[in-house]
Amino acid sequence: MWKLKLAGLSETEQALIRSIVRLSKDLESSWQVVDQGACDVVLCGTHGPAMVMPGVLRIRVAEPGEHSTEHMHDVLERPIRAERLIRLLCQSAAALTQGRASSTPSSTPSISSPVVAETPAPRAMHGSLHQVASIGRWPPQVVLAKNREFIRLAVVLARASLSVTELSRLSGVPMETCISFLDALEERSLVRWGGAEDAIPPPPSHLQESTEHRHFGSGLLGSIRRALGI
Amino acid sequence: MSNEQQIRRIASREVQKIAKELHGVSSVVIATVDGFDIASIGLDGEDPGRIAAMASSVSAIGSVISQEESLGRSRSVTIATDTGFAYLSCAYLPDQTLILNVIADQDAVLGQVAYRCAESVRRLEAVA
Amino acid sequence: MKEYKILFSGTPGAGKTTAIGAVSEIPPVVTDVPNTDPGYAKAYTTVGLDYGQLTLDTGDCLRLFGTPGQARFDFLWRILGRNALGLIILLDNSRPNPLADLEIYINGFGEALRSMPCVIGVGRHDQGNTALDDYGLWLMERNMILPVLPVDVRRRADVVLLIDVLLAELEFHIRKGECSHVE
Ligand SMILES: Nc1nc2c(ncn2[C@@H]2O[C@H](COP(=O)(O)OP(=O)(O)O)[C@@H](O)[C@H]2O)c(=O)[nH]1
Ligand SMILES: [Mg+2]
């Protein structure tokens, strides 16, 4: 059970947050709002504590635009929305789990650290990090919207069913972007979860020879990109 | 008779005559420069449309080579093979180019085919 | 010096010759001749091959080949496609039935598409009655997923994007290969 402390927030906001946590199916079993004692996450307003205990995460509640210098991930924008709060708390839980499991307990986990980027948003959480995603068609243009990273992800998913982690590794696209891509597909029911990772189709025959492969890896693609100015 | 009809008539007469007069010829096709056959005779049941398309590709590459090397217009291309040859010649008419394409086996004599094709090309080019 | 090639195929008039010219560092070699086919509103058409090239800073050479588009030239598609790094199929959305056009190339390249990286560029996508997403759905009905991107090949950036998609797929194969036999 994770403990959430509220600081520097109005009565109304406190009540709102308490009820979101109590009513949310995604949170009710794992989160508890506490008034005193140790906690895992502090949700604070403008007058909240500037410092928190090591190992405790801090999420700031801020007016829109006010948080320009901060990581978006550590900020809950006003007006407080349930989905956003739930998402932040899920990410925090994952960050805390990761942080505590890792061998450096002194380091404070941050929601926006790469570790947290591995946390799927609520939607993509249906498929966990290890579940395999696959697509049955090239995603519609509304999803791709000329976004190069999304196109890259679709290219890879078109060839193989992959877990989020593998997708990120094989595409070279950050985990976070992979998750928002899968979310966008999920929203339109265009992604299937489950099953085993595909046997990847063989690469084009002339790439199969291992020396060729090494040659390729060691710079052909880079040199073509440079020649094209990509 | 329109110019176009006249060209087609001469073309089909020439393919017939070449096939009859020369030994070892299996197909004769006259094609437009973009690969459509306008007259053909296939003695081995080959598809003249395919030969026409290939003839236009080969002759286009021949033209590119003669252009790049400043050798003037391309007149003919020979593809000599293990068991015969393909001989392509270009006919430059006033407002179009045609390709005369002869496929032959080892019974045919290249010099003879080339000589006979030049004659047909002259007749086609003479259509004013 | 090593040589690699990328192949451009697709509907006559969709812009293969234009696309190669947009990225080639040499004036492209073009085998265009006057078109006599009333099915395409085009004065000139490619019957041999288009050719452009890019010299890489490794000293290697990337060759860009364009095929003739018409199905009667499919013998050249296979010849030129052999050992290509990837295939770019260009279509013209303003044509009466661009999905039937797509079918010509899907059939023509056949099995090669299962392993060769391939991307479909749809030109004049603001014209015609076919939505861009229809291409993906049409392919899905045939159990295929290929990248489909709207392009205007007169813009170099669009041609570069098509090539970049091919590179992304190659990169995926390479990374996958690296993990299956770790060196
Ligand atoms: N308006 C418009 N014209 C285009 C577009 N894409 C290509 N074109 C034009 O279409 C023609 C294509 O010709 P070409 O490159 O010879 O086509 P190819 O037969 O595929 O080689 C060129 O004149 C291009 O400028 C497009 O998206 N919009
Ligand atoms: Mg062309």
Partner residues linked to B99 by β-bridges: B31, B90
Least confident range from A214-218, B77-81, B88-92: namely A214-218
* Tokens representing residue B71 in the block: 């050798």
Which residue carries 């079993």 as its tokens? A29
Q: What is the rounded CA–CA span in Å between residue B118 and residue B126?
A: 12
| Closest among A96, A4, A9 to A41, alpha carbons compared | A4
Q: What is the rounded CA–CA span in Å between residue C120 and residue A49?
A: 55
Residues of chain A with pLDDT under 70: 28, 47-52, 67-73, 100-130, 195-218
Q: How far is CA C8 from CA A230, C16, C20, C160, in A?
A: 20, 6, 8, 13
Of B32, B54, B64, the CB nearest to C36: B32
Query: What is the overall mean pLDDT for chain C?
Result: 92
User: What pLDDT does residue A102 have?
Assistant: 58
Nearest atom (ligand 1) to Cα of C123: 27
Highest mean pLDDT among A30-34, A98-102, B62-66, C164-168: C164-168
Residue C92 pLDDT > 90, yes or no? yes
**Number of domains making up chain B:** 1
CATH topology of domain C3-175: Rossmann fold (3.40.50)
Q: Which residues of B touch C33 (CB under 8 A)?
A: 33-34, 56, 60, 97
ipTM rounded to 2 decimals? 0.91
Range of the domain at B121: 3-125
Nearest atom (ligand 1) to Cα of C126: 27
Mean pLDDT of C150-159: 97
Of C35, C37, C76, the CB nearest to B57: C76
Q: Which positions 54-93 of C are in contact with A (Cβ < 8 Å)?
A: 54-58, 60, 62, 83, 85
Q: Which ligand has the minimum distance to the alpha carbon of residue C43?
A: 1
Structure confidence by residue, pLDDT tens digits, C117-127 = 999 999 999 99
Residue C136 pLDDT > 70, yes or no? yes
User: What pLDDT does residue A40 have?
Assistant: 86
Q: Output the CA angle A194-C142-C176, nearest 5 degrees.
A: 50
Q: How far is CA A210 from CA A75, A82, A152, A215, C182, in A?
A: 48, 52, 25, 9, 11
CB contact under 8 A, B61 and C36: no
Mean pLDDT of B85-103: 96
Percent of chain B with pLDDT over 90: 83
Pairing of strands A31-34, A2-7: parallel
Give the relative orientation of helices A148-159 and C156-180 as an angle to the nearest 10 degrees. 50
Nearest-neighbour CA in chain C from B74: distance (Å):
13
Q: Which domains are present in chain A?
A: 2-125 (3.40.50.2300), 127-228 (1.10.10)
Q: What is the pTM of this model?
A: 0.73
DSSP alpha helix (H) spans, A35-174: 82-101, 114-117, 141-144, 148-159, 164-171
Is residue C19 within 8 Å of C156, Cβ to Cβ?
no
Query: What is the overall mean pLDDT for chain B?
Result: 93
Nearest-neighbour CA in chain A from C44: distance (Å):
28
* Tokens representing residue A28 in the block: 């009710």
CATH number of the domain at B77, please.
3.30.450.30
Q: How far is CA A10 from CA A21, A48, A81, A188, in A?
A: 17, 11, 15, 38
* Tokens representing residue A164 in the block: 């989020």
User: What pLDDT does residue A83 have?
Assistant: 79
Chain C residue closest to B54 (CA)? C73
Output B75 or A105, whichever has higher pLDDT: B75
Nearest-neighbour CA in chain C from A108: distance (Å):
32
Ordered strands of the B37-42 beta sheet = B37-42, B25-32, B97-105, B84-92, B76-81
